[in-house]
Each structure stands twice: as structure tokens, then as C-alpha cells.
A and B are shown apart, each in its own frame.
Chain A
């Protein structure tokens, strides 16, 4: 039961990713995608969002490819309004965030579902 409640709460993040209008998108700060990949794991982001930021089953939304605007992501990470634990600047620096964002932006586009037989039964 504990498992179900936890997942239900974390799932509140769903719907955050992508989809904002072009004029709202600011240029993200430069970042190191390789380091971003490393700290995406070590800081525990992968625990809910998956190691490729593909999203977890009921735990956290997909973040990549095509992540939400950097400012939106940064604001939410610092002061989440849903179930996600807060990552304050004391534990995740602005540079860390920029590197994580670079990692998210570097994720490849997945194959189309229709091209995968196992997803068409």
C-alpha cells in the first residue's frame, strides 16, 4: 500500500514536460552533457525519471528529449509544487542544473511506436 501511495503522489509531476510556446523559451545556459549525465545519476534524478530521463512507471514524468524550458525546469527543481523533493541551491548548483539540462537536451529521439512490433499487438 505504501508503494501505491508513494507512486500516486509522485505522479503529480506528470504533464510538466514540453509543449510551451516558442516565445516563452529562453536560451538555456551552456552546460556539459557528459557531466550532466553523471550527476543525473548520482543526484538521484534517475530514481524517478529513469536513467535516460524517459520517465518512470508512475514515479516521474519523461523529461527528455525536448525538455521543458530551462527556466521552468530550474524553478520547479528549486520549489516543486507537486510531489518531487526539492533540490535547493545548497545541494544542486546552477552549474549542475545547466549540465543536467545539457544532458536532457542531448537525448536522442526514440523510434516510432509503429516501427516496433512488440508495441503493436
Chain B
């Protein structure tokens, strides 16, 4: 049994009184002493009333925590339940009415965080996650790292029992920790351990503001279990600070004007966008900049930066464009060095520059505002000629305006000619992609190109959102809205795709969009309980398995080592394949309450299977189609 400090003190006082007045519990005298004493008179007053232990409260601290969290506008809360958060959990569902935030039950903390990761990339704001402060946060760690690398805000509250004298014996000690945030401090932007409700309120609002200031990142608050469960002493003293969100940092205006000058003067400028467009406005602004300059755009896909069928989308021709460029502008490019260099992973690793002499390289990124040491997600140092610290999307309006001011009739004519050539190159690239897709069209296992094309045919007339894809999809599909692509895991941690897709689908639900994910098999097996979450909360998501029955990336890595060592080149599948037995994902889905179809081995069966699944999802339910595919 546990008691809070207030009840404990009451009991202690009452206990002392009881010992003093109860002859049975008083220290017994020796027989000799008893004989030497005169008998004590028996008190004639009534025995004192037993103190009444306070067992209930109608205003726990967690209720105020809910008030604070509601003030921040969370729609959902993803959590796997944990006793260190039992107070807050109960307050959310009863005091808070389980609305805004509504609790989403997850079967793994990694799933909770990844759902929040996907959700934020669609909705543009964080989703709340609760996690047990020790084992729960350890489960969550990889997914937090992904969000950190991907510059995505996730708002995490972890439970902990800080006061050792208040812990229940046994498991609560095992699940308590001095410094709850320490396992993930290297890859969250900010964390705090509030020791009062006032402190919780201030830190909660501060955390939200920090998470939403570019570069956007996860934040973490510890909710002490005593603070959650103890009655609020004086509710009138509690105050929730106003949330004042920071405007995104823009690049310095003179430097941006210089960039405009360089771009307008360039003969072969190239715009490279990775995590540039945070919002729908970002997508439109990058279109405006590209059209103003008639400059090619290489969309590296970290966000939905640029329409796939726009004539200036030259992603398929990126290598030649980089090689021929005289000015290259990187917009929130994660790996600018890697963009500008080739690299050989042979016994002796080597690299070479892809650019020509004299090229001017410009970088605009908010990443320079926040860099930590331990984890190496900052990539190799890029030698930029002009590095502008600021959020690329926030910097685009001034860059566009500056460029337009510099336009002359002569430059416009030159740009028009360039645009015509780029449009022709775009069409050629599209035809190449379509022709490439015909090779292996009737193969079984099914080619990824056919999977992509058949899926596109099934969804193209809907309001769709691709929440996870495979390479090659971009050219065959017509992406033109900001919610139609959200990039990948950021940190490369496997286990992201299934839960992040569901989180994105949760965000898409209220908009009535058809969410679709091409789901890798190895990724789903990290935490397949996410299928149950999809069914339980009726989140419409079409998951199409890219079931190549392997951790195929690792197959290729082991193959490379075997070739390098000139031995055992037929054994790369040991420890990397997911077969014998083959996993029946359709049955797995059905076991979790999700519509399941497959395995689809014959490509002729694929289109009809996808149509059936789309019909299920259109009714608001999740569906999974297991497609046995080629490796890539």
C-alpha cells in the first residue's frame, strides 16, 4: 500500500497518539516495577476517535496536467499503458473526457512515437505520446531518434516516481530512475523534470514552443507520479502560460539577395530540395521560385517539395544537372556533400566530386541552428560558398521577390529557352521510366514497378496520400499536393514505416483522404501490433506489402562482403532472409481485425486485389494486401 505524503503525516500523528493512550501497545513494565507502583486510575473519558484516513480526492494534480495539455491543442495521444502514468491516464479519459486528446492504444512505445512522427508530417503539429519512464522510453528510443533526424516534432510525456520513499516495493523501483530523460537526451531537443504543477505548466508550454521552432524536433517532459496523484493544494494559484510560438528563422536578407543575384545570373542553376517544404505554402513557393528562374528542381523527397509531373522536376536527371551546374542551391538538404560527390564502397573506399570547377554552392538550412556531437546525423561537412542559416521555407518569399526584382527581358528570354529544354528532358525521363517499368512486367515475384503502377491505377482518381513508398514510385505517380508524400524515417531506423504510415493516416482521416503505404515486410515485423491499433481505432489505411521476404538491404551488404572476401557468395541469405516459413501477412492482418488479401504472386491478380482493398478503405477501415515482390 502506498500513501501520499499528506496522508502519511496524518497517520504518523495519529499513530503517536494511539501509542501514548493505548495501554496494550504501551511499553510493558517489568514485574518488579509493577509491584512497586500504585495502580493507575483508569480514565473515565471515551477513547479517542480513530483518525479517518483520506482515501479519495476529486482534484488530483493530473487533472491540472490535462488542462495544460488541452491548452496546447493536441488531438490525439498515443500510448502503451504504464503504471507511472496511471494518474495522468485516468485524468485524460475521465476528467478530460478522452477528447482532444483522444487516447490511441499502441502495442509498443516505438509504435506510439512513430505514429506521432507520421502524424506531424501530415498535420503540421505534434501529437502527444505518453511512455513509461524507463522500460517504455527504452522501447521508444529508436523511433525518437528517427524523428530527431527527420526534424519532426513529437511531444513526449514520460512517467517516473522520483521520491524513493513513496515508491511501492518491487516493480515501481525497477521502473523508477534518477534521470528519466537520460537515455534519449542526445536526440531530443529539450527535456525537463518539473517538480511542481506550476513548473509542469510552464515547462509544458515551453516544450511545445521549442518543438515547433525550426529545426522542429522531439521534446520530453517527465510527469512525476506523486505530482500526478497528489491532490491539488490550491487550484487558484495554478496558471497556464500563454503559448507564444516562434516565427521561423529566415535567412539574413542581404545574403538572400546575393543568392538571388547568383541564381539569376547563372546559366545552369540547380535547385536541390530535401526537407524544404514544411507546409502547402512551401510547395507553392518552390514552384514559384523554379518557374521564376526556369530552373531545374531535384527533389530528394524528404518532404513533398515539388510536383512530380512538373516540367521543371528534373530529379531523374540529377547527376547530369549537378555535373553541369554553375550554381547549386541546397534547400534543407540533409546530405549536401553526398549530393555533390560520388562514393565507392569497395575495399578501399573512395569518392570524387561530381561538380565542375568554379561551381558556386549555396546552402539554406535551419539544421545549422542545432547540432549535437554524439550522434553523427549531421553528415559530412559540405564546402558551401555561401551558407545561410535559416529555415528554407521561411526564406523563400524574400528569395523569390529578390529574384523577380533582378529579372530583365534578356534574362527572361534565356530562362524561357532553358525551360523549354527542361520540359523536353522531363518528358523523356518520364518515357524512360515507363519503358523501364515494362521489363519484368509479367514476372513473379511481382516487380516493384508493376506494383507501383497497379497501385497508382487503383488510387489515382481518389484524394490520396502516399504515406510510405518505394523507390521508383515518384515518376510513375502524379504527386502535386503537399500531403501526397511525407518522406522517410529520417534516421534510417527500421520499424518506422508501419506505425508512421498509420499516424499519417490518422491525420488524413478527418480530411477524408485515402492513405496508402507500400509496406516493407521486415519493417512490419518489428511491431506488427500496429495492425491491431489500426483496426481498434478504425483508421483507414491501405497497406500494400512490399514482401520480398528479406531484410534485403542487409542481403546486399552481406553479399558485398562475401564477394570482397571471395568466399561463400551463395550464403548471403543466412541471417537476412525472412522465409522458411514464409509469413502470411494477410492472415496476420485478419488476426488483428484488419481486412487481409493475398499473398498475391501472379501479377494479373494484383489490380483486382487492390481494387477490393481500396473499397474497404473507402468505408473507413484499414486493409492490407500481401504482394510477393522482387527485391527492389
Instruction: Tell whether, in the assembled complex, residue B440 and residue A1 are in contact, meaning their CB atoms are under 8 Å apart.
Output: no
B377 CB → nearest A CB, Å: 8
Give, as a whole number of angstroms, the nearest-CB distance from B480 to chain A.
14
Q: For the complex, what is the distance from the CA of A10 to the CA of B559, rounded to whole Å?
A: 13
The smallest C-beta distance from B455 to any residue of chain A, in angstroms, reads 9
Given the complex of chains A and B, what is the CA–CA distance between A67 and B529 in angstroms?
Answer: 45
- Contacts A83-B344, A119-B453 given: A44-B471 contact, CB under 8 Å? no
Kindly state whether residue A8 has any CB partner on chain B within 8 Å. yes
Instruction: Assess whether B417 is interfacial by the CB under 8 Å rule.
Output: no
- Tell me how far the C-beta of A65 lies from the nearest C-beta in chain B, rounded to whole angstroms: 8
Residues from chain A with Cβ under 8 Å of B552 in the complex: 47
**A42–B457 Cα gap in the complex (Å)?**
34
B632 touches A58 (CB 8 A): yes
Contact indicator A116/B570 (Cβ below 8 Å):
no
Q: A57-B632, A58-B632, A86-B564 are in contact. Are A8 and B338 (CB under 8 A)?
A: yes
Query: C-beta contact mask, B413-447 vs A, less than 8 Å → 1, else 0?
Result: 00000000000000000010011111111110101
Cβ–Cβ < 8 Å partners of A117 in chain B: 457
- Chain B residue at minimum C-beta to C-beta distance from A11: B319
Q: Which of B456, B457, B632 has its CB near the most chain A CB atoms (within 10 A)?
A: B632
Interface size class of B (residues with CB under 8 A): 35 or more
Stretch at the interface among A24-32, A87-95, A98-106: A87-95
| B553 sits at the interface (CB 8 A) | yes
User: Quick check: A6 and B438 within 8 Å, CB to CB?
Assistant: no
On chain A, the residues within 8 Å of B491 by CB distance are: 1
**Chain B, 319-355, contact with A by CB distance < 8 Å: what is the 0/1 string?**
0000000000000001100100011111000000000
Given A44-B559, A110-B438, A121-B457, are A57 and B472 neighbors across the interface (CB < 8 Å)? yes
Q: Are B470 and A57 in contact (CB under 8 A)?
A: yes
CA distance A48 to B342 in the complex (A): 18
> Is the Cβ of B631 less than 8 Å from the Cβ of A118?
no
Given A52-B443, A62-B436, A92-B569, CB of A2 within 8 Å of CB of B343? no
* Residues A43 and B570 in contact, CB atoms below 8 Å apart: yes
Contact indicator B448/A59 (Cβ below 8 Å): no
A46 within 8 A of B: yes
- Chain B 448-483 against A: per-residue CB contact (8 Å), 1 yes, 0 no? 111001101100100000000011100010100000
Given contacts A58-B472, A121-B460, contact A113 B632 (CB under 8 A): no
Q: Please, which residues of chain A bring their CB within 8 A of the CB of B569? A: 43-44, 87, 91-92
B binding-site residues for A, Cβ under 8 Å: 149, 334-335, 338, 342-346, 377, 379, 431, 434-443, 445, 447-450, 453-454, 456-457, 460, 470-472, 476, 478, 491-492, 552-553, 555-557, 559-560, 562-564, 566-567, 569-570, 572, 607, 630-632
Pairs across A and B, CB under 8 Å, 18 listed: A1-B491, A9-B342, A46-B631, A50-B632, A51-B631, A54-B447, A54-B630, A55-B440, A57-B470, A57-B472, A58-B632, A90-B566, A116-B437, A116-B441, A118-B453, A118-B456, A121-B456, A121-B478
